[in-house]
C-alpha cells in the first residue's frame, strides 16, 4: 500500500528525536505536517482523532500526524488556549510553542536534524531549558520539567527555574486539576529517580502548593532512634529512590513516598513511646488520595504500609497472634501479591537511611515464611467442624501454633 505521507511535508518531532540522540530506544514516533489542511489529510486516507486541534492517524502505521500549529493563551489554567493550525504555520513556529529545547527538535524523513533552539547542546550538557516565555502559560509544564529531572537527572536552567518560581508566585500553578497532577506524579514514580521530581517541585515552591503533606516533612527531625542526621523529608526521598531500585511497580513506589506523612503533624516526643504518626498519617494519605483522585489500589496499599510498616521491621519480636493479625489486616491469604508489594515498601523504608542502602532485610523472608507456613492450616475442615465465631478463633489458634513451631525450628533457643 503506498505511503500517503510521501507527498506531504512531514517531520519527526519531540521525544523520538530526543531519545534517538540520547541513544535510547524510540518507542513512539510523532510527526508534524506543514502546509496541509484537515481536508487534505482526510483525502489522503488519514483518520482524524484530535478533539482540540487537528491530529490524524496514519492509515498504515497508526502513528500520529499533527498539523503544525501555534497557540494563544486566553484564560488561566492549562486548558485556556486557542489554537491556529492553518496551512501557513511553519515548522519553526510549531516547535517554538513546545516546552523544552530538548523537546523542540525535528528530523526530516531522511534523518536530517533541525534544531532552532539549541536542544542538541542542552541535551549534551544535561540542561532542561524552556524554549520561550510561553512556557509560563501552561502550569503542567512545571510538573513535566520535574518529571524529566527524575528521568534523566538533568539540571534545570537558572532562567527556567526562575520562570517556574514566578508561575508559582503568580498563582498559575493553582489552576492544575487533580487528574493532571496525579498523572504526572504517576509517570514520575516510574522514572529512575523519583526523588528528583519532588526536589524540583520544592526548589521552585510548587511542592508546598501541590503536595503540602510532603513539603512539611522537610526540616522535621527524624526520631532519635532513626538516624537523626537526616530529616523526615530527606528520609522520604531516600525511601522512594530505594523503592525504585527494588521494583518497577508504581504502587509500591507511591506507598514508599507517602508512608511517613504523619510525622509532620506528630510531636517528636510522641515517637519513642507510641507511633501516633501512623494513625495520623493514615488520614493524611486518605485525604491526599481523595484530593488527587488516586486509584483505590494505590490508596489501599499506601494506607497499609503507613499503618503497619513498623511491625515488619521488628517481626522477629512479634507475638504469633500479632503476626496473624498483621497478615489478616493485609488480606495476605486472599491477595498474596499485595503482601509482596507491602514487603517491598517496608524494605525500601528500612534501606532509606544513611548506611543502610545495601543492607540485607531478613524481615522480608521471615514474614513470607510465616505466611507460607500458615497457609497449611485447612480452613475448610475447620469450617466443617465449627460454627460461627468458633471458626475464626480456631483458624487463628492453629495459625499461631504454626508460627510458634516454625520459630522453634529457626531458633531452638527461643
CATH superfamily placement of domain 1-122: Beta Polymerase, domain 2 (3.30.460.10)
User: Are the C-beta atoms of 339 and 311 separated by less than 8 Å?
Assistant: no
Whole-angstrom distance, CA of residue 31 vs CA of residue 2: 18
Whole-angstrom distance, CA of residue 370 vs CA of residue 373: 5
Q: How confident is the model at residue 77 (pLDDT cuts 50, 70, 90)?
A: low
Torsions phi, psi for 34 (to 5 deg): -105, 135
Q: State which fold the 212-375 domain adopts.
A: Hypothetical protein af1432 (1.10.3210)
Residue 405, all three cell numbers: 513451631
CATH 1.10.3210 domain range(s) in the chain:
212-375
User: What is the per-residue pLDDT for 374?
Assistant: 92
CATH 3.30.460.10 domain range(s) in the chain:
1-122
Q: What is the DSSP string of 306-329?
A: HHHHHHHHTGGGS-HHHHHHHHHH
Whole-angstrom distance, CA of residue 377 vs CA of residue 393: 13
Whole-angstrom distance, CA of residue 394 vs CA of residue 80: 63
Q: For residue 349, give the 3-state DSSP assignment.
A: helix
Whole-angstrom distance, CA of residue 56 vs CA of residue 8: 13
H or E stretch including 82? strand 81-84
User: What is the per-residue pLDDT for 274?
Assistant: 46
Whole-angstrom distance, CA of residue 362 vs CA of residue 325: 20
pLDDT, tens digit (0-9, with 9 covering 90-100), for 315-374: 999 999 999 999 999 999 999 999 999 999 999 999 998 788 888 999 999 999 999 999
Whole-angstrom distance, CA of residue 347 vs CA of residue 267: 25
pLDDT, tens digit (0-9, with 9 covering 90-100), for 226-256: 566 678 999 999 999 999 999 999 999 999 9
The DSSP code for 390 is: H
The DSSP code for 230 is: S
Torsions phi, psi for 262 (to 5 deg): -65, -15
The DSSP code for 62 is: -
Q: Residue 37: CB partners within 8 Å, gap ≥ 6?
A: 67, 86, 87
Whole-angstrom distance, CA of residue 212 vs CA of residue 200: 14
Report the percent of the chain where pLDDT is more than 70.
90
User: What is the per-residue pLDDT for 265?
Assistant: 66
pLDDT, tens digit (0-9, with 9 covering 90-100), for 264-290: 765 544 444 445 556 788 999 999 999
H or E stretch including 181? helix 178-189
Residue 106, all three cell numbers: 525535528
Q: How confident is the model at residue 82 (pLDDT cuts 50, 70, 90)?
A: confident
H or E stretch including 33? strand 30-34
Mean pLDDT of the chain: 89
Strand 70-73 relative to strand 64-67, pairing: unpaired
Q: Residue 14: CB partners within 8 Å, gap ≥ 6?
A: 30, 98, 103
Amino acid at each position: 500500500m503506498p505511503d500517503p505521507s510521501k507527498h506531504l511535508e512531514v517531520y519527526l518531532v519531540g521525544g523520538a528525536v530526543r531519545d534517538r540522540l540520547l541513544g535510547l530506544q524510540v518507542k513512539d514516533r510523532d510527526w508534524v505536517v506543514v502546509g496541509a489542511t484537515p481536508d487534505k489529510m482526510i483525502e489522503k486516507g488519514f483518520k482524524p482523532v484530535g478533539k482540540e486541534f487537528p491530529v490524524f492517524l496514519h492509515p498504515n502505521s497508526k502513528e500520529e500526524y499533527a498539523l503544525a500549529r501555534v497557540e494563544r493563551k486566553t484564560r488561566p489554567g492549562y486548558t485556556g488556549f486557542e489554537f491556529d493550525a492553518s496551512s501557513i504555520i511553519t515548522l519553526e513556529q510549531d516547535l517554538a510553542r513546545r516546552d523544552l529545547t530538548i523537546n523542540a527538535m525535528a528530523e526530516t524523513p531522511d534523518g536530517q536534524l533541525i534544531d532552532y533552539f539549541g536542544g542538541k547542546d542542552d541535551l549534551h550538557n544535561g540542561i532542561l531549558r524552556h524554549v520561550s516565555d510561553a512556557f509560563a502559560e501552561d502550569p503542567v509544564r512545571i510538573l513535566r520539567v520535574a518529571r524529566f529531572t527524575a528521568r534523566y537527572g538533568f539540571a534545570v536552567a537558572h532562567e527556567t527555574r526562575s520562570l517556574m518560581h514566578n508561575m508559582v508566585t503568580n498563582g498559575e500553578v493553582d489552576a492544575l486539576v487533580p487528574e493532571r497532577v496525579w498523572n504526572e506524579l504517576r509517570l514520575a514514580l516510574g522514572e529512575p529517580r523519583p526523588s528528583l521530581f519532588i526536589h524540583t517541585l520544592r526548589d521552585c515552591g510548587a511542592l508546598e502548593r501541590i503536595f503540602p503533606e510532603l513539603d512539611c516533612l522537610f526540616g522535621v527531625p527524624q526520631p532519635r532512634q532513626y538516624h537523626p542526621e537526616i530529616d523526615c523529608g530527606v528520609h522520604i526521598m531516600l525511601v522512594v529512590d530505594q523503592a525504585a531500585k527494588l521494583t518497577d511497580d508504581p504502587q509500591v513506589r507511591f506507598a514508599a513516598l507517602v508512608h511517613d506523612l504523619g510525622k509532620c503533624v506528630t510531636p517528636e516526643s510522641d515517637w519513642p513511646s507510641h507511633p501516633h504518626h501512623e494513625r495520623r498519617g493514615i488520614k493524611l494519605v486518605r485525604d491526599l488520595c481523595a484530593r488527587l483522585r488516586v486509584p483505590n489500589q494505590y490508596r489501599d496499599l499506601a494506607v497499609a504500609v503507613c499503618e503497619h510498616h513498623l511491625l515488619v521491621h521488628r517481626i522477629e519480636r512479634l507475638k504469633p497472634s500479632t503476626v496473624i493479625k498483621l497478615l489478616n489486616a493485609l488480606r495476605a491469604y486472599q491477595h498474596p501479591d499485595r503482601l509482596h508489594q507491602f514487603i517491598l515498601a517496608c524494605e525500601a523504608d528500612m534501606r532509606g537511611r544513611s548506611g543502610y542502602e545495601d543492607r540485607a532485610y531478613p524481615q522480608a523472608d521471615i514474614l513470607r515464611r510465616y505466611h507460607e507456613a500458615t497457609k497449611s492450616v485447612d480452613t475448610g475442615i475447620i469450617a466443617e467442624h465449627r460454627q460461627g465465631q468458633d471458626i475464626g478463633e480456631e483458624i487463628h489458634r492453629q495459625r499461631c501454633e504454626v508460627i510458634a513451631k516454625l520459630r522453634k525450628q529457626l531458633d531452638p533457643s527461643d
